[in-house]
Amino acid sequence: MDTHLQRETEQLLRVGITHGDFNGVGYEVMLKSLADPRITELFTPVIYGHARVAAFYRKNLALNELNFNPVRDASQINAKRVNLINCTEAELRVEMGVQSVEAGQVALMALEMAVEDLKKGLIDVVVTAPINKENIQSDHFRFPGHTEFLASHFKGEPLMLMVWRDLRVGLVTSHIPVAEVSTTLSKETIVKKLNILNSSLIKDFGIRRPRIAVLGLNPHAGDGGLLGNEENDIILPAINEAREKDELLVYGPYGADGFFGAGEWKKYDGVLAMYHDQGLIPFKTLAAGEGVNYTAGLTVVRTSPAHGTAYDIVGKNLSNEDSFRQALYLAIDIERKRRMQHQLEEKQLDTDKYSI
Of 88, 111, 89, the closest CA to residue 21 belongs to: 111
Let me know: does 30 contact 325? Beta carbons within 8 Å. no
Q: 148 and 181 share a domain?
A: no
Query: How buried is residue 48: exposed, middle or buried, by Cβ count under 10 Å (0-12/13-18/19+)?
Result: buried
Q: 191 and 256 share a domain?
A: yes
pLDDT < 70 stretches in the chain: 1-10, 348-356
pLDDT at 8: 46
pLDDT at 342: 81
**Domain with 235 in it:** 157-296
Amino acid at 8: E
Q: Please enumerate in sequence order all residues whose Cβ is within 8 A of that of 203, keeping only pairs 6 or more positions apart, or say none.
A: 337, 338, 341
Q: 185 and 163 share a domain?
A: yes
pLDDT at 345: 77
pLDDT at 255: 97
Domain boundary among 246, 276, 296: 296
167-171 vs 156-164, strand pairing mode: antiparallel
Rounded to the nearest integer, the mean pLDDT of the chain is 94
Provide the 10 A C-beta neighbour count for residue 25.
31
> In this predicted model, what pLDDT tens digit does every residue of 287-337 receive, in sequence order?
999 999 999 999 999 999 999 999 999 999 999 999 999 999 999 999 999
Q: 164 and 271 share a domain?
A: yes
What is the model's pTM?
A: 0.92
Cα distance between residue 193 and residue 237, in whole Å: 14
Torsion 251-252-256-260 (CA) sign = negative
Q: 222 and 182 share a domain?
A: yes
Of 328, 216, 334, the closest CA to residue 275 belongs to: 216
pLDDT at 1: 43
> In this predicted model, what pLDDT tens digit does every residue of 149-184 receive, in sequence order?
999 999 999 999 999 999 999 999 999 999 999 999
pLDDT at 49: 98
Q: 138 and 171 share a domain?
A: no
For residue 196, give the DSSP letter: H
Q: 9 and 118 share a domain?
A: yes
For residue 84, the surrounding DSSP H or E stretch is strand 83-86
Domain boundary among 276, 296, 316: 296
**Crossing angle (nearest 10°) for helices 322-354 and 187-203:** 80
Domain boundary among 249, 273, 296: 296
Let me know: does 103 contact 132? Beta carbons within 8 Å. yes
270: CATH: 3.40.718.10
Residue by residue, DSSP assigns 269-310 as SEEEESSHHHHHHHHHHHHTT--EEEEEEESS-EEEESS---
Q: 120 and 164 share a domain?
A: no
pLDDT at 6: 44
Strand order across the 249-254 sheet: 69-71, 83-86, 43-49, 13-18, 125-128, 302-305, 292-298, 156-164, 167-171, 270-273, 211-215, 249-254
Q: Structural domain tally of the chain?
A: 2
Residue by residue, DSSP assigns 248-265 as -EEEEEE-HHHHHHTTGG
Q: 161 and 148 share a domain?
A: no
